[in-house]
Structures are given as structure tokens and as C-alpha cells.
Amino acid sequence: MELDSPKNFFVRLFIALWFGYWLPFNFETPTRRDMLKHGVANEVEEAGFRNIRKISEFRSNYRGVFQVVEGEK
């Protein structure tokens, strides 16, 4: 389970404020931007997993905040 990039601007803003991604010294900010740019599924595939699928069942309840990526090693 990983954070996703919701379509709603205000939800994205809330996530950024909640997790402190706006802080200049937050070491996770560059990693998170890279992950969102390339996608979690692509990162999992590059790690050698196969049969990868992204599940967004949480979209209705949490407005697209979470995603689950499954893969086989």
C-alpha cells in the first residue's frame, strides 16, 4: 500500500501538508516525486517483479489517496 496522486487538488494539498512534503529538509520529498513521476507499478517492475497490477479500490472511500500494487517475484 502506497500513497497515490489523487485527482482532486485539495486532497493532494492536504496530503502534502499532512506528511510534510512541503518542508525543504524532508528527505522523502525527492523520492516521492520520483516515484509519482514513474509510477509505483513501474518501480516494482524494475525491481524484478512480474504480473504487476495496480488496485485502486480505495478511490471512492479515500478520494484516491491510496493504491496497492501487487506483483510476483
Could you say which DSSP state residue 70 is in? E
The predicted model gives 50-70 an average pLDDT of 77
pLDDT value of residue 35: 79
pLDDT value of residue 49: 95
Under 8 Å between Cβ of 12 and 36:
no
User: Domain residues of the chain, as ranges?
Assistant: 2-72
The predicted model gives 33-52 an average pLDDT of 87
What is the spatial distance between Cα 69 and Cα 73, in angstroms, rounded to a whole number?
13
